[in-house]
Every structure is written in structure tokens, then in C-alpha cells.
Amino acid sequence: MTNERTPNPHQQSQPAHHHDHAPEQKPISSQKALLGVALVLVVAVLLGVLGIMSRRSADAVLAQRTHDQAAPSVIAEIPKPGTPVDNYVLPGNVTAYTDSPIFARTSGYLTHWYFDFGARVKKGDLLAEIATPELDQQLAQAEADLNTARASAGNAKIQADRYAGLVKSDAVSRQDTETFTTQAATTSSAVKSAESNVQRLKELQSFEKVYAPFDGIVTARGVDTGQLINQGAANELFHMQAIQTLRVYANVPQVYSQSVKRGSKIDLTFAEYAGRIFQGTLVRTADAIDPVSRTLLVEIDVDNRAGQLLPGSLAQVHFKTPPAGPTFIVPASALIFRREGLRVGTVVNGNVAHLVPVIIGEDDGATVQIVNGIGAGDKVIQDPPDSLIEGEKVYLEGANNQASPGGK
């Protein structure tokens, strides 16, 4: 008998529990895996190449910027044309025709001086007197020695003459005769020596009086009464200059050296005589170019008998020359002084420095005249750095200059 249970309507039915299972994943194929790895490698390589290129680009930009920063900044301008040169003015040093310091030739004490500085004296005028008591005593002693020597020489000569007469009759021996003859010659030489010594001391004694050696003016007095005077160049007693004719020395640039001729008349001007022209004569040249300054030394003599001009002053010497070619005016600061000579910096090919040898004419301190070396279209560097070298890249500044590619 089957026991069947009657469903209880009051009993809730229990829902059936179903277990959910995840869908099965299909395995990745080997081709897809290799493709993924390849894509990753390509991306990594691209990123590496991009990084390297970026660093190289940055290095190149840094190097270019460093190079541009290293290029000196300069201002270059076209030089101004100058007037044709048919005359030029140079400074001249005015000196006395004769300039002489006067020293003592003997030692002693200054007893008196007769002319002070500024005095005009004639040749042979007595300037000062020196007392030399020691020298006077030496002279007196030398004169006494001379008298003694003369007496001895006279006695020796008498004896020699007597024996020379007696030896003929064989009254005296020949040996004694020769002895007295030799003695006479010896004493005669002693007399000459004593006379020379006396003359020397007299010459020294004559220097007790100091005389003017030429016509001129006393420009300095370095001693006073009672001062001890030492022989030699230790103490300068006076200083004299002859100013009747003055010498004017000037250094002519090499480019004008062939235009100066001996005997030509040269005009001179002086600051203390505004508007007045003095004339001198070119009397001599050095006939050689100074290798340091590349100039020719010339001397111009000026008549100064009126005494208007003073030695030691500065003159403006006006030289005349045949007209030269075109000239240009540049600032004095544009000049570059190098061991090989005077140079001016120019800019070529847009941004390349080129050092040009030049010859200058007039120089007024602020500007100089270039008579040879540059042309009308050259760009001259106005204030070049000392380190500027030939072929160096430069950076041009200023409104009139165009910056070169790759510049600052």
C-alpha cells in the first residue's frame, strides 16, 4: 500500500534552487599573442626613438644657443666720407736750440751767485764763485815743489856740463860724467812733471768762477750762498737755454713721409696766440721711419729773437701735401692696436669679422681720418672687443643692422 501524502495547502512551496555556471572562455590563439607582443614592442621602440630625437634636438638647440650667445655683440656702421686731404695738422714739441745743465768742476763752498732764474745772460758772464781753500793750498805746495825741482835740475845741468868739459882732457872718469848727465836728464823730467801738476791745479782753480757757456736765459738756479759744492754731476748749479731759435719736433705719419722736404716753410700755431701764425723752416729729418710708431721725426726751426715763444710749449704744425684719395672718418674707439700694426674691424658676409690694416691721417682725439684701408660700403665695428679675431662670428645690433640667421 502506497502512502501518498496529500499536499497541504497551507504549506508554502519551496522554490527550486538552480546553480548558475560561468560561460566557458575560449583560449587565446598564439597568433593573437604574438601580435600583441609585437604591438607593445613597436610602441616601446617608437617612444624610445621619439625620446632620443627629442634629446638630440634639445642638445642641438642648446649648442646653437650657446654658440649664438658666445658671438660678441657689435655695432657696425658705414664710415662717413672725409674731405680730400691737402694739409694736415700734427702736434709739435717746442724745445730750446741749446739746453744745458751747468755743474761744478771743482769742490768748495759757494761764496756768491750773480744771476737768478729768468735772467738773460751773454756768453762769458760770471754766474757764481766758489771758494776752494784746499785747492789753493795744493796749488801753493805744487808751485813750491816746482821751484825745488827747477833748482835741482839747474844744479844737475851745471854738474853735467862741467864733467862733459873735463872728460875731454881725461880729468874725470867717463862713468862719473855719464852719471851726472843722467841726473840732469832725470831732474829735467821732474821739472816738467811739477809744471804739469801746477798747470792742472791752476785749471781746477779757474773753475772757482762759473761762466755762462753761451748766450741764453737762466731757467733754474739750484744752489745758494754758503752751500757745499761737490765736483761732478751731483749738484746742478744752473740750467741755461738758448731761445733765440727754437726747435720744433713733430712725428709725420709714414703715408706723408714723402711730402716733407728740407727747406720748406711750415706754419705753426700756438694756443696762447689765437689766430696768429708763426712760420718756421724744416731743417732736417731722421731719414728713417720709427718701427714702433711708423712715423718720421722732423725738426722745424723757428726764429724767436723777439722772445714770444717759450720752450716746452706745444705747437700745432700745419703741413701741406698733395691731395690724396678718398678718406673716411671713424671714431677713435674703432681702432684696434695689434702687434702686427693698426687695424679696423669690419663685418663681411653678414656676420663675419674681418680685420683690415689701415693708415690714419688727422686725429683729433674723438675721431680719426682713415686715408687707406677701408671703402665707402664697408661696415666698420664702432667699439670692437679686445678679443675680436679674424673670421669670428659676430652679432650685429642696432636699427641699421640686420641680425644674421641663428643670432640672438
| Segment among 37-51, 58-72, 319-333, 380-394 with least mean pLDDT | 58-72
Indicate the SS3 state at residue 383.
Answer: coil
pLDDT score of 325 more than 90: no
pLDDT score of 8 more than 70: no
What cell numbers appear for 170 in the block? 881725461
pLDDT at 16: 47
Which amino acid does the sequence have at 187? T
Phi-psi region of 325 (alpha: psi -120 to 50; beta: other; left: phi over 0): beta
CB 355 within 8 A of CB 336: yes
Q: In angstroms, what CA-CA distances link 361 with 120, 221, 288, 377?
A: 41, 43, 19, 20
pLDDT at 324: 63
In this prediction, what percent of the chain has a pLDDT beyond 90? 32
In this prediction, what percent of the chain has a pLDDT beyond 70? 85
Q: In angstroms, what CA-CA distances link 364 with 89, 260, 275, 337, 368?
A: 10, 21, 19, 17, 7
pLDDT at 403: 44
Looking at residues 297-326, what average pLDDT do you find?
A: 89
Q: What is the pTM of this model?
A: 0.58
pLDDT score of 102 more than 80: yes
pLDDT at 12: 46
- Helix H or strand E encompassing 314: strand 314-320
Cβ-proximal residues to 401 (8 Å cutoff; 6+ apart), any chain: 75, 76, 379
CB 269 within 8 A of CB 316: yes
pLDDT at 26: 56
